Every structure is written in structure tokens, then in C-alpha cells.
Amino acid sequence: MAKYYAGQDGSVELGGVAVAKVVQWSLTANTDALEVTTLSQDVREFTPGVRTASGALTVLYYDDAPVKLLNQVNQEPADLSVTKLATLKLKFDDNFFEFDAVLTSAELACVVGEVMRVNVNFTMSGDFTSKQL
Amino acid sequence: MTAISFPALVPSARSYTPGVFPETQFQAQNGAVVRVRYGNQRTNSRLSLTFSNITDGDAAEVLQNYVQVMEGDNYAQFTTNNVAAGAGSVVGGEETGLIPFIRETNSALKWKYASPPSVTSVKPGLSTVTCEFIGELEGV
């Protein structure tokens, strides 16, 4: 039977340390489409441009699970583990994407009847440092 | 005066103005206009070309063409396969549509660079080049 992956296979590492209570992560890779259509053509033609990737992850605010992420977003000077770029590793089972990223935003949501959660958005800096699919 | 062939590149954008007939206008106080015409041929036609996302090698060919045209008493020559592509067709050896204007084969104008080409780097290996040409009367 073919192997499939589910949410229980997923995890996230920040700077080589597993982030606890991750609910979801997502990653979107993009490539710019540069137009190379000339005046002798009547159909648009494109060539690949610059590549980027960005995404988001959600962490439950359970104990201090998201604190390192929030410090990274705020570039908290009191936290000596904070670096300019965050090294993220998005994993599912034995597969993973590893890259440096800027954590661009954090959204804290506190709702009646739900566990408080933190949504963090990131933008990859440079290419993937390693990946296994 | 030598014709220098433009590289085999088709532009992604092209803008043309046919120039003017040289003249001076005199306007009387009552608004009447008198024109003194100095010639019966167009002059100072303009052609703007944009080559989007071409290779750096092709961009260098445009720069080389600029040097070859402007370093001596030369002019740039276009064909229906490069700059004038898509501006008309050639039927029985006769150019139709905009081609005679783009190539200035229907006038005594010769294409010179009005300003140096501008090269904008887009990503490694790709650039966008813009050129401005002016049609000047030569040997008339």
C-alpha cells in the first residue's frame, strides 16, 4: 500500500530545536514568470525568473511553546538565541525542507472556548539549504 | 556612410513617430499663420525599442551595434526579421503596413542612436534593453 502523510507526521524545528505544539505549517514556493513575448508573436511567452518561498505555521500557546518564535519575530535583544535569520526545518515523517527565513509577522489569537494560538508568517531567504522529499 | 545591421532581435515594444517637415511659423496679431517651409522631406523621426528579458549576450550585441554605428559616420539598418518584425508584410518584394516607416525605406532618413542604449539587469543572465533612435537626413 502506498505511503501517505497526515498531520501527525508533521513537525517544525527552529534553529535545530523542535517547536512544541505545532498545529499546522504550510509552504508556498513561487517562481516569477518573466515575459519574453516579441512583436512578431501573438501568444505570450515566458521564461522563469527569480524564485521565492513563503509560508506560515501555527503553534498553540501552551507553556512557552511559541516564545522563541515570537522573540525571533520581534528580534528580541534580550534573547541571545535570536539571530537575523531563523533556520526553519519543516518536516513530515522523514522528509523535510530546511532553509533560512525572516519571520515577518506573528498573530496571537485568544478566543473563548479555544486554546490560544500563534500564527507566524515567514519568507525564505536564499535557496533551500537542504531538502528531502 | 556605412549601414550597420542591427542584431537579429525582435523587440517586445516599439514606438514610432514620423518626424516633422522643417518649417517656421509666423503668427500675426489677428491669429493668421504663415509657414515658411524649408524642405519637402520628413526629418527627426523617432523610434523607441524595448527588448525585455533578453540574454546578456544579446544585450551585449545591442551595445556593440551602438558602438559600431556611433564610432563613425554610420547608421543602423533594420530588417523585417528584427526591428520591423510584425509591423507588416512583404508582398512581391513590396513592403506593406508600417514596415516602410519603421525601416525608413520610404524616405531619405537614416537611423542614428539618439542616446546610448539603457541596460537594466533583471536576474543573472537576463537584461532588459531600451534603445532610442532618431532619423536624420543624410546626403540630401
A35-77 pLDDT tens trace: 999 999 999 999 999 999 999 999 998 888 788 888 888 888 8
Q: Check residue A74 and give its pLDDT.
A: 86
- In this prediction, residues B5-20 reach a mean pLDDT of 97
Residue A12 to chain B, least CA–CA distance (Å):
32
CA nearest A44 in B: which residue?
Answer: B12
pLDDT surpasses 80 at B112: yes
B51-81 pLDDT tens trace: 999 999 999 999 999 999 999 989 999 999 9
Q: Which of 53-82 (B) contact A at CB < 8 A?
A: 53-54
pLDDT surpasses 90 at B139: no
User: Which one of B12, B54, B81 makes the best mutation probe of the A interface by having the most chain A beta carbons within 10 Å?
Assistant: B12
Q: Which of 104-133 (B) contact A at CB < 8 A?
A: 122-123, 126
**SS3 at position A38:** coil
CA nearest A32 in B: which residue?
Answer: B123
Picking from A39, A49, A50, the nearest residue to B86 by CB comes out as A39
Q: Check residue A63 and give its pLDDT.
A: 82
Q: Which residues pair with A101 in a beta bridge?
A: A86, A124
Query: Are B138 and B110 in contact, with CB atoms under 8 Å apart?
Result: yes
A79-133 pLDDT tens trace: 888 889 999 999 999 999 999 999 999 999 899 999 999 999 999 999 999 999 9
Q: Check residue B35 and give its pLDDT.
A: 95
pLDDT surpasses 80 at B42: yes
Q: Check residue B39 and give its pLDDT.
A: 92
Picking from B53, B87, B123, the nearest residue to A35 by CB comes out as B53
Residues of B in contact with A35 (CB under 8 A): 12, 52-53
Cα–Cα dist B49/B9, whole Å: 11
Q: Which residues contact B105 (CB under 8 A, 6 or more apart)?
A: B95, B99
Cα–Cα dist B121/B124, whole Å: 8
Domain with B109 in it: 2-137
* pLDDT-based confidence at residue B1 (cuts at 50, 70, 90): confident
CA nearest A38 in B: which residue?
Answer: B12
Q: Which residues contact A45 (CB under 8 A, 6 or more apart)?
A: A35, A36, A37
Give the cell for residue B73.
559616420
pLDDT surpasses 90 at B107: yes
CA nearest A42 in B: which residue?
Answer: B86
Residues of A in contact with B14 (CB under 8 A): 39
Domains by residue range for chain A, with CATH: 7-132 (2.30.110.20)
| Structural domain count, chain B | 1
Where do the DSSP E strands lie in chain A? Answer: 10-14, 17-18, 22-35, 46-60, 86-92, 95-109, 117-132
First to last CA, chain A: 18
Cα–Cα dist A10/A95, whole Å: 9
First to last CA, chain B: 13
Where do the DSSP E strands lie in A9-45? Answer: 10-14, 17-18, 22-35
Test A36 with B52 for CB contact under 8 angstroms: yes
- In this prediction, residues B31-35 reach a mean pLDDT of 96
Q: Check residue A76 and give its pLDDT.
A: 85
Residues of B in contact with A37 (CB under 8 A): 12, 52
Q: Is the ipTM of this complex over 0.90?
A: no
A19-28 pLDDT tens trace: 889 999 999 9
Q: How far is residue A85 CA from its own chain's centroid?
A: 12
HSE of B65 in the Cβ direction (CA atoms, 13 Å)?
A: 26
